[in-house]
Amino acid sequence: MAKKVTTKKPLHGNRRSHALNATKHAQKPNLQKKTINGVKVVISAREARTMNKEAA
């Protein structure tokens, strides 16, 4: 099982229709499984890009 490393959580808000009806909505972070130094971790795609940039 992959260890969760990131602290990112969903953003919450409302979807608005043209009639201004509000329904709850969550934008979830783009979490990916990645192996770092032989350990499987769950990090966001943006964090993975940053780590690849720093490794190069």
Contacts of 1-5 with C-beta under 8 Å, sequence gap 24+, read 1/40, 2/33, 2/40, 2/41, 2/42, 3/39, 3/40, 3/41, 3/42, 4/41, 4/42, 5/41, 5/42, 5/43, 5/47
What domains appear along the chain, each with residue ranges and CATH number?
A: 3-55 (2.30.170.40)
Q: Identify whether the C-beta of residue 2 lies closer than 8 Å to the C-beta of residue 43.
A: no
| Res. 52: pLDDT tops 80 | yes
Query: 33-48, pLDDT tens digit by residue?
Result: 999 889 999 999 999 9
Contacts of 31 (CB under 8 A, 6+ apart): 6, 8, 42, 43, 44, 45
* 55, pLDDT greater than 90: no
Tens of pLDDT, residues 17-30: 999 999 999 999 99
pTM over 0.85: no
